[in-house]
Amino acid sequence: MPGMMDTILNLGLNDTVVEGFAKLTNNPRFAYDSYRRFIQMFSDVVMDLPKHNFEVIIDEMKEKKGIKLDTEFTAEDLKEMVLHFKEYYRSAKQEEFPSDPKIQLVESVKAVFRSWNNPRAIYYRRMNDIPYSWGTAVNIQSMVFGNMGDDSGTGVAFTRNPSTGEKKLYGEFLMNAQGEDVVAGIRTPQTIDELKSVMPHAYDQFVDICDRLEEHYRDMQDMEFTIEKGKLYMLQTRNGKRTAAAALKVAVDLVKEGMITKENAILQVDPKQLDALLHPQFDTKKLQEAKPVGSALPASPGAASGRIVFTAADAVVWKERGEKIILVRLETSPEDIEGMHVSQGILTARGGMTSHAAVVARGMGTCCVSGCGDIKFTSAKTFTLGGVDFKEGDALSLDGSTGNIYAGAIPTVPASITGDFSTLMGWADEFRTLKVRTNADTPKDARQAVEFGAEGIGLVRTEHMFFEVDRIKAMREMIVSKTEEQRRKALLKLLPMQRSDFEGIYEAMEYRPVTIRYLDPPLHEFLPTDEDDIVNLAKEMNLELAELKNIISNLHEFNPMMGHRGCRLAVSYPEIAEMQTQAVIEAAINTIRKHPEWKIVPEIMIPLVGEVKELKYVKDIVVRVADKLIAESGLDMHYMVGTMIEIPRAALLADEIATEAEFFSFGTNDLTQMTFGFSRDDAGAFLSHYYDKKIYEQDPFARLDQNGVGKLVTMACKLGKQTRPNIKLGICGEHGGDPSSIEFCHKAGLSYVSCSPFRVPIARLAAAHAAIKEKNAK
């Protein structure tokens, strides 16, 4: 969790020790610099006295002495600074700064343990699926010092470029400094290449170590080092955080270099990271026409347009209002993590390529342009750049690949899978055994999903085809119909719409399988609420306004999610299933006539089934209508009828359900809702309390609850196979696009997962991860 937890440096110093330290090193300036750093850090991390208050003291001293840089302070200045710091501490805390090294140590250890629970660590864990229960260890280690003078320094470096993946040493260092100074971005660091001329010996040795570390870990390394009086020390190394584009390039390159296998390359790329590459990119033509108002470091790639906000807290508020935002900060700090996460892009005035903003943004896959020194803040919420004045709410665009900054919003175009991305996806497809389908309701979504590698559609939500203004009218007519005659009239209007929609989807999917789910409208989403809509509907249906209002109020449900939806509608009104069957089968017949080579086998899916008899009731309608139409067509055409498993009772009785169902698709949205008894629409309001109290760590609607809901899934698979050994099993709830849930689906023996088009590549990679991990475990 880089940067999420706390550290205390220079521990053990007090008024006595510092004297000895100064003598021992023959360097009083260094000794007092270390001491003042310790007081500052200990006060901040252990005692909750903000770092900033100490910075104010430093700035005042700089002003008084007429200097700009920390390095210009003399030993005497630093000695004086220590006095000021301790004075400030005494007045703020009403006690002396602790001078006993044992107390310093024990308090620091406690503080590091506490930091496991600071808000940014909690947020980071939720974002990255790291369980709270893991807890932390505390390392205590002796130090080497980069602040011993001009023959000392410290830096961070990556063996490859973490932004692009290019195989070239990449990093920054500062002479006469400690690590904090590099990350804080107060002094501008030098690039690692410059170390070659500053300290050739240390540089050569460093390059050598980098090669050895990569060779050992077989992955790009992120290293921290310190040079103490000309001698190089490595402080730490870890696999480096990188952007999605860099992850793909590094993985593919390492295979080409013979360092790793394709399997390892696949495992090196986090499926969730791909998300960043699947979103729109700037329209190249429009980008060329636009003139940048400024440019700075391309810290994390991506195309971001949004409205300017200036604080992380505002970012969260604006995002909740549905705004796309660009967070503009002097520099970011770990407290800003949530605000950064909800932003489209981040722009900072200070900080290098390894500053907090840059490192964290890359980890999140968020576009970031950092260190734009040309930004002049004119107030807390206004700035000028390139002669243009900007204020809160103004539109701004950032190109994280070039570092260019543009006024206004630049239009974007959809992403595509090419180059290293396409290579790695090809490898993933070689290893995965789970098929990946998509949830799509329109030909456009279906085409996008095929572009991203979908092998079929696992869920067409037919009610979603009626959300458009001109269509919802007919849908509403059907819903409020009092008689079968009225309903059939409305259904006749819906029939051609559905048939042509299905034809469009079959065209888009060509030979690939398509599962069409029958109407499952939670009534409250479709009933009119607007007075004008109600008046018009009454006219259309020749009803008195009062009478229609009465019907609408009778249709009001107290628990809409458990109300008159799914197959219950077809049980009450069989003509709905008749119409839908006609639409599906006729669309398939028309498409087969055009493209006989496609061998279309419609998969008809009945939702919200809890009892085999209700499934049979609806299935009988389907079979009657479908068989008649197929016979009339003279085609040799087949279809399947299956069900969703989304009610716990269906999972419990899956062996019975399978006597009628030719396939199961787990609707884990409803299955989660009904297993937990949490309303899908309302749980958001209280789940955050559950996270705070560590009752749950994850949203069960986003990540499958493998213990509870998962048990039902596994059981239903087993029972279903008992009755029908070759039953086809899939999942189409939101979990079908979530990597950890996909691993579960693989283990449970499902044949496919189905997810929204933009998650298809993520699912393909996650499915490969699951297959490779299983193989490795064996």
Contact of 518 with 585, CB cutoff 8 Å: no
Minimum CB separation of residue 561 from Mg ion in Å reads: 9
Site for Mg ion in 668-727 (CB under 5 A): 670
Query: Got the DSSP string for 596-662?
Result: GGG----EEEE-S--SHHHHHHHHHHHHHHHHHHHHHHT-----EEEEEE-SHHHHHTHHHHTTT-S
Radius of gyration of the chain (CA): 31
Q: Which two tokens stand for residue 766?
A: 């996650």
Q: Is 582 among the residues that bind ligand PEP (CB under 6 A)?
A: no
For ligand PEP, the closer CB: 359 or 608: 608
Q: How many residues bind Mg ion (CB under 5 A)?
A: 3
Candidate ranges 19-27, 286-294, 485-493, 662-670; the one touching ligand PEP (CB under 6 A): 662-670
Q: Is 441 among the residues that bind Mg ion (CB under 5 A)?
A: no
Q: List CB contacts of 519: < 8 A, sequence separation 6 or more.
A: 462, 463, 569, 570, 576, 580
Which of 108, 669, 698, 756 is the binder for ligand PEP (CB under 6 A)?
A: 669
DSSP 172: E
Minimum CB separation of residue 655 from ligand PEP in Å reads: 21
Q: Is 455 among the residues that bind ligand PEP (CB under 6 A)?
A: no
DSSP 386: T
Binding characters for ligand PEP, 511-530, by CB under 6 A (x = yes): ---------x----------
Contact of 431 with 768, CB cutoff 8 Å: yes
**How far apart (Å, rounded) are the C-alpha atoms in residues 223 and 363?**
16
Minimum CB separation of residue 680 from ligand PEP in Å reads: 8
Q: Which two tokens stand for residue 586?
A: 């006729």
For Mg ion, the closer CB: 567 or 748: 567
Alpha helices in 67-118 (DSSP H): 75-93, 101-114
For ligand PEP, the closer CB: 43 or 668: 668
Q: What is the 3-state secondary structure (H, E, C) of 685-716?
A: HHHHHHHHCCCCCCCCCCCCCCCCHHHHHHHH
CA neighbor of 565 nearest in space, from 661, 463, 460: 463
Q: Is 703 among the residues that bind ligand PEP (CB under 6 A)?
A: no
Q: Is 759 among the residues that bind ligand PEP (CB under 6 A)?
A: no
Which of 222, 646, 705, 738 is the binder for ligand PEP (CB under 6 A)?
A: 646
For ligand PEP, the closer CB: 459 or 650: 459
For ligand PEP, the closer CB: 70 or 520: 520
Q: Is 185 among the residues that bind Mg ion (CB under 5 A)?
A: no
Q: State the binding partner of 461 from Mg ion, ligand PEP, none, CB within 5 to 8 A by kind.
A: ligand PEP
For ligand PEP, the closer CB: 244 or 519: 519
356, 464, 735, 769: the active-site residue: 356
210, 367, 567, 732: the active-site residue: 732
Which of 152, 668, 675, 740 is the binder for ligand PEP (CB under 6 A)?
A: 668
Q: How many residues bind ligand PEP (CB under 6 A)?
A: 10
Candidate ranges 69-77, 485-493, 630-638, 665-673; the one touching ligand PEP (CB under 6 A): 665-673
Which of 670, 705, 738, 743 is the binder for ligand PEP (CB under 6 A)?
A: 670
Contact of 307 with 394, CB cutoff 8 Å: yes
The number of residues in the chain equals 778
**How far apart (Å, rounded) are the C-alpha atoms in residues 581 and 630?**
11
If DSSP codes are grouped into helix, strand and coil, which group holds residue 579? helix
For ligand PEP, the closer CB: 219 or 520: 520
How many Cα atoms occupy the beta-carbon half-sphere of 287 within 13 Å? 18
Minimum CB separation of residue 563 from Mg ion in Å reads: 13
Q: Is 461 among the residues that bind ligand PEP (CB under 6 A)?
A: yes
Q: State the binding partner of 458 from Mg ion, ligand PEP, none, CB within 5 to 8 A by kind.
A: none
Minimum CB separation of residue 666 from ligand PEP in Å reads: 7
Q: Is 28 among the residues that bind Mg ion (CB under 5 A)?
A: no
Q: Is 339 among the residues that bind ligand PEP (CB under 6 A)?
A: no
- Helix and strand numbers, DSSP H then E, in the chain: 33, 26
Q: Which two tokens stand for residue 703?
A: 């990540």
**How far apart (Å, rounded) are the C-alpha atoms in residues 365 and 515?**
33
Dihedral (CA of 729, 734, 738, 741) sign: negative
Beta bridge partners of 604: 516, 641
Task: Specify the pairing of strand 603-606 against strand 514-517.
Answer: parallel
Minimum CB separation of residue 654 from ligand PEP in Å reads: 16
CA neighbor of 507 nearest in space, from 563, 444, 570, 453: 444
Site for Mg ion in 613-672 (CB under 5 A): 646, 667, 670
Alpha helices in 452-530 (DSSP H): 469-480, 484-509, 523-526
Candidate ranges 105-113, 122-130, 341-349, 667-675; the one touching ligand PEP (CB under 6 A): 667-675
Candidate ranges 253-261, 297-305, 488-496, 666-674; the one touching ligand PEP (CB under 6 A): 666-674
Q: State the binding partner of 733 from Mg ion, ligand PEP, none, CB within 5 to 8 A by kind.
A: ligand PEP
Assess whether 356 carries a catalytic annotation.
yes
Which of 733, 737, 739, 761 is the binder for ligand PEP (CB under 6 A)?
A: 733
For ligand PEP, the closer CB: 646 or 743: 646
For Mg ion, the closer CB: 172 or 646: 646
Q: Is 730 among the residues that bind ligand PEP (CB under 6 A)?
A: no
For Mg ion, the closer CB: 352 or 667: 667
For ligand PEP, the closer CB: 571 or 623: 571
Which of 339, 456, 528, 667 is the binder for ligand PEP (CB under 6 A)?
A: 667
Dihedral (CA of 668, 674, 679, 681) sign: positive
Q: Which two tokens stand for residue 683?
A: 């749980």
Candidate ranges 6-14, 228-236, 397-405, 664-672; the one touching ligand PEP (CB under 6 A): 664-672
Candidate ranges 48-56, 158-166, 527-535, 661-669; the one touching ligand PEP (CB under 6 A): 661-669
Q: State the binding partner of 253 from ligand PEP, Mg ion, none, CB within 5 to 8 A by kind.
A: none
For ligand PEP, the closer CB: 404 or 675: 675
**How far apart (Å, rounded) are the C-alpha atoms in residues 37 and 53?**
13
Site for Mg ion in 89-148 (CB under 5 A): none
Which of 121, 494, 661, 732 is the binder for ligand PEP (CB under 6 A)?
A: 732
Q: Which residues of 283-299 are buried (b: 16+ CB within 10 A; e: fewer)?
A: eeeebeebebbbbbbbb
Task: Specify the pairing of strand 404-407 against strand 294-295.
Answer: antiparallel
Minimum CB separation of residue 762 from ligand PEP in Å reads: 18
Q: Is 736 among the residues that bind Mg ion (CB under 5 A)?
A: no
Query: Got the DSSP string for 266-333?
Result: HHHS-GGGGHHHHS-EE-HHHHHHS--SEE-EEEE--EEEEEEE-SHHHHHHHHHTT--EEEEESS--
Minimum CB separation of residue 738 from ligand PEP in Å reads: 12
Q: Is 352 among the residues that bind Mg ion (CB under 5 A)?
A: no
Backbone angles phi, psi at 748, to 5 degrees: -75, -10
Assess whether 732 carries a catalytic annotation.
yes
What are the residues binding Mg ion (CB under 5 A)? 646, 667, 670
What positions carry a catalytic annotation?
A: 356, 732
What are the residues binding ligand PEP (CB under 6 A)? 459, 461, 520, 646, 667-670, 732-733
